Amino acid sequence: MKFFNLHTHKVSNQETVLEVVNQYPQEFDASIPFYSIGIHPWYINEQRLESDLQIIETKMQKKNCLALGECGLDKRIEMPFELQQKVFEEQLILAQKYNKPVIIHCVAAFQEVIDVKKRLKITVPMLIHGFSKNRQVAKGLIDNGFYISFGKYLLQNPKLETAFLSVPSDRIFLETDATEERIEAVYALAARYKNIAEEDLQHIIKNNFEQVFKNFKP
């Protein structure tokens, strides 16, 4: 593995990339080598919530399920926030039960995510994907034990460099999400911002992967 892609919706099948492909309960593709599975707050369906959670629990027990997610909280959608919180918490309990990291979608609800981590005493790694906020928000997450993943917004917004550089090297991940960009482009920019060789950044991310995904057996 030269590159690790924490969160993507596209399968690249590159031998040099280990990628965690996002899957949804009702659209599960068993041919995907490594995946995360969860209920995104945008797609909560109360009528099938119980069956979705059952599917997630079954798939989480497979060795090629690396994480739960993406799941989380989003204050900018019409989905009732209390329902989002309920579904998020039920998934966190599953992650804790099966000792799997959690890939989190969070929009305008960072304090609520921090609060639920504390209240439920979640000890599995929690990773905020697609970070696009400032260094103050990043510091609050780091101080509460979160990892932070950067991707399309790092490529699109030069102002994000400050927040990226404020995150300790042992807490960062990189991703492509749903963009057409390759993970190599994210690594190249991140290495330039850090003023280090790409090989050194690859080593940093590999160490972080080994720390967070301790149960991974290729």
Question: DSSP of 151-218, one letter per residue?
Answer: -HHHHH-TTHHHHHHHS-GGGEEE--BTSS--HHHHHHHHHHHHTS-HHHHHHHHHHHHHHH-TT---
Between 136 and 215, the more confident residue is 136
104: pLDDT strictly greater than 80: yes
Residue 217 lies in a domain: no
Q: Is the pLDDT of residue 13 over 90?
A: no
19 is in an annotated binding site: no
Q: Is residue 23 in a domain?
A: yes
- Asked if pLDDT for residue 42 goes beyond 90, the answer is yes
Residue 126: inside a domain, yes or no?
yes
Instruction: Report cis status (omega within 30 of 0) of the bond before 180.
Output: no
What is the reported pLDDT for 33?
Answer: 95
Q: For residue 217, is pLDDT > 80?
A: no
- For residue 129, say whether it is annotated as part of any ligand binding site: yes
Asked if pLDDT for residue 196 goes beyond 90, the answer is yes
For the stretch 162-179, pLDDT in tens is: 999 999 999 999 999 999
Residue 160, domain member (yes or no)? yes
Q: Is 74 annotated as a binding residue?
A: no
pLDDT in tens, 71-103: 999 999 999 999 999 999 999 999 999 999 999
Domain limits at 134?
A: 3-197+204-212
CATH number at residue 184: 3.20.20.140
218 is a domain residue: no
Note the pLDDT of residue 1.
83
- Please, are residues 16 and 3 in contact by the beta-carbon 8 Å criterion? yes
Determine the average pLDDT of the residues in 99-108.
Answer: 98
When divided into structural domains, the chain yields a total of 1
| Residue 162 confidence (pLDDT) | 98
- Separation between Cα atoms, residue 133 and residue 120, nearest integer Å: 25
Q: Can you read off the two tokens belonging to residue 198?
A: 């790409």
Cα first-last separation, the chain: 11
Residue 54 lies in a domain: yes
Whether residue 35 lies inside any domain: the answer is yes
The response to whether 105 counts as a known ligand-binding position is: yes
Minimal CA–CA distance to 205: which of 151, 133, 134? 151
Tell me whether residue 52 is in a domain: yes
